[in-house]
Amino acid sequence: MDKRKRKISRPFKIGGYLIIISTLVIFIVPLIRNTIHPIKYIASNENTLTINVPYIINGEVDETSIKIPRGTKVHITQKGTETSQIKYEGQLVSVPNENLVDSIEDCVQIENVYPRRLLNLRKEKDGSLSDAIVKKGEKVKVLKVDPDDLDTTTGNVKWYQVEKDGQKYYLSGQYVETSKELALTNYSSSISYSTYWDAYYGENYSKNAYIDQVDYKPQEVPNYKNNPLKENVNSVHVSLENLIKNKQYYMDLNDTTGINSLVVEVKGDGGYIFYESDVPKKYLSDPDEATNSAITSKDELSDLFKELQDDGFYVIARIVTFKDAIFAKQNPEDSITDQNGNLLLHNDEYWPSAFSRNAWSYNVDIAKEVAQCHVNEIQFDYVRFPDGTLSKTLDGTIDMHNTYNESKTSAVQGFLIYAKEELQQYQVYVAADIFAWPVVAQDDQDIGQFLPAIANVVDVVSPMPYTDHFSMGAMGIENPSASPEETLYQFSLITKQTLDSIETPSIYRTWIQGYGDFGPDDMISQINGIKNAGYQGYMVWAGSGSQEILDPRKDGFIDSSK
């Protein structure tokens, strides 16, 4: 080869050598590093592994503790016979070898879990609820945890695969503990409740219904990055029909009043769904009965809500839940009946039973459908049992199909837990409307609405302290209807006292009265009563929220943060 060819080929040879060397560096260096400092994963039977780290201060040996989430990937810096040294967050830490495993699949060192309340098992993750249940404190065998279900930033497990009566199921990790003692931990010591209903249902009924069957472990209220949770939500309720027919009027409220939110009714009294939902096809023999009042498609609903959001509105979709004659008539086995299975007409209404998991799933599936249509929050109304059923219960003429022998309060909380689990994936908040009098009475008024049980699981709790619903002298107020500011102030203080008894309560955003002879001054008085108690936000109940109803009052729709 002549000199010229050698000169030309030399750069190619050098380039080839560099590629080979780079490849060796990329693949061999990590192998060498992993041989010298092998990769391990933190394993634990708890969400985090607690390690005590000694240090010297003023010549004395002391120690501090750090918590490492299970599933954390670490490198061994020095291996020992019983413990090995790792570097975690800039400091050297000694970890027992039993807590260092080779794969993330082995990080969850749990043989059994124990529920904190009654829970239905699922055949599939995020699947429908099965008839199989596990009870509070029950030992449940864990088969495995899929790596995708382990959050390595917190150590939390989303789903456990478990065994019950020889069958495989999935159980949510949010409501279970790793020991029976933890599952039975008392988180309710500061919660007050009335024993009024013991006189009718027997001694200790109230404690069992409101405390023993309910989960009060602190549950953090989420704050989704793309959907910030607002406390200063000033809203009016409007029917979907009125919103569509007079959209510009409602959008102008954002510019001319303090209103920055709309509560839009998407499923109303009687079970009518006002958009073209696909859900009734799965649950009703005659799905058209539920949707024959639909006035828009899902896509149009989504576009409408997107337009509201783009204009600065916080959009709340209201779903009337267990006041649903359409579902009841087509699903009598899931509804309130007499002892012969015949639907029971109570106060001129047919009601699904809030004990029914099928009724739960129906309403949650509707909520999931709506959650994909640009809403910020799903609000469940009539999330309760019908009132005034005591005499029928005592004389045995009513059957609520209480399959699992649970309290009404437990059933309502269970439904909201299920709704919250299912809606988390859509990053929307979950709210629940409740009657005002259970808040004041500190019980569930025999309809399942016990404020602490609800406020411990939802993101927003919305009582309905309409002044005309209170009797003369209620809360020490001579005439509540004539004293809207004092009524809302005293009610909000009572609510605050209860919410303060829970470590992680939901946001309090109350309804105010926007009907009858109440005008702008009465709107402002109610809002001031809420503000004086230390809260922001309100929702105006004015029926369908038509322009004729709102116009005489809208000067009172002020910004509650000012």
- Candidates 255, 287, 272; CA nearest to 318 is 272
pLDDT class for 543, splitting at 50, 70, 90? very high
Write the DSSP string, 121-158. EESSTT-PEEEEEE-TT--EEEEE--GGGB-TTT--BS
In sequence order, the 6+-apart residues with CB closer than 8 A to the CB of 186 are none
CB atoms within 10 A of CB 214: 28
Q: Does domain 112-183 have CATH number 2.30.30.40?
A: yes
The dihedral built from the CA positions of residue 68, 70, 73 and 78, taken in this order, carries a sign that is positive
- List the CATH code of the domain at 202-337+349-389+405-556: 3.20.20.80
| 299's tokens | 């896509």
pLDDT score at 6: 58
Residue 190 and residue 499 in contact, taking contact as beta carbons nearer than 8 Å: no
pLDDT score at 53: 82
112-183 and 39-106 share a CATH fold: yes
How far the first Cα of the chain sits from its last, in Å, is: 89
Q: Is 212 helix (H, G, I), strand (E, B) or coil?
A: helix
| Mean pLDDT for the chain overall | 93
Residue owning tokens 């400092």: 37
Q: At 226, phi and psi to the nearest 5? A: -90, 5
Secondary structure element (H or E) that encloses residue 47, with its range? none
pLDDT score at 57: 76
| Alpha carbon 167 to its chain's center | 28
Q: Report whether pLDDT(440) > 90.
A: yes
Helices (H), 372-507: 390-394, 408-423, 437-441, 451-455, 484-499
Average pLDDT over residues 156-160: 95
Residues 335, 328: Cα–Cα separation, whole Å: 5
pLDDT tens column, 236-293? 999 999 999 999 999 999 999 999 999 999 999 999 999 999 999 999 999 999 999 9
Helices (H), 266-407: 280-283, 288-291, 298-310, 325-330, 357-371, 390-394
pLDDT score at 18: 65
In sequence order, the 6+-apart residues with CB closer than 8 A to the CB of 405 are none
Residues 152, 331: Cα–Cα separation, whole Å: 43
pLDDT class for 31, splitting at 50, 70, 90? very low
pLDDT score at 450: 98
| Alpha carbon 268 to its chain's center | 22
**Domain-wise residue ranges, the chain:** 1-33, 39-106, 112-183, 202-337+349-389+405-556
pLDDT tens column, 91-141? 888 999 999 999 999 999 999 999 999 999 999 998 899 999 999 999 999
- pTM, 2 dp: 0.91
Residues 231, 507: Cα–Cα separation, whole Å: 7
- Candidates 332, 368, 367; CA nearest to 352 is 332
- List the CATH code of the domain at 39-106: 2.30.30.40
Q: Report whether pLDDT(376) > 60.
A: yes
